[in-house]
Amino acid sequence: MKFQVPQFIATETRLIGPFTLKQFLWLAGGGMVIFLLFITLNQLVFFIAAIPVAAIFISLAFVKINETPLMNYALYGIMYLTNPKRYVFKKEESELQEIVLSDRVSNEVVISDKKK
């Protein structure tokens, strides 16, 4: 039996123009933050504050590192900073088992590791 295999299943669907839903939401959120800055701040302070805000939201919308969105890396960094960093190595002890190969030769004993 032949089955049709879908292609390009790793790509997200473009919903709003050339943008995916996540990209559009990041850009819309950045636009809202910049609009709030425009309403509350005077012109010089607005331009100083709007440039980094726009850069952050555009980066979160479009930048991918090794096909992983920048937001995932930001979350990984936050989890790394908040989680404990104490790693304990516990070595498993292996039991040695003696096996006698034959009764005639009593001098030959093979020792092997028995892993569970």
pLDDT band at 5 (very low <50, low <70, confident <90, very high): confident
The predicted model scores a pTM of 0.61
The 10s digit of each residue's pLDDT in 44-63 is 999 999 999 999 999 999 99
pLDDT score recorded for residue 83: 87
Domain that holds residue 88: 1-116
**What's the number of domains the chain is made of?**
1
pLDDT band at 32 (very low <50, low <70, confident <90, very high): very high
> What gap in Å lies between CA 25 and CA 33, rounded to an integer?
12
> What gap in Å lies between CA 98 and CA 75, rounded to an integer?
52
The better pLDDT of the pair 100, 16 is held by 16
Number of residues assigned to the chain: 116
Nearest to 26 by CA among 53, 57, 56, 54: 57
User: What burial class does residue 61 get, using C-beta atoms within 10 Å of its C-beta: 0-12 exposed, 13-18 middle, 19+ buried?
Assistant: buried
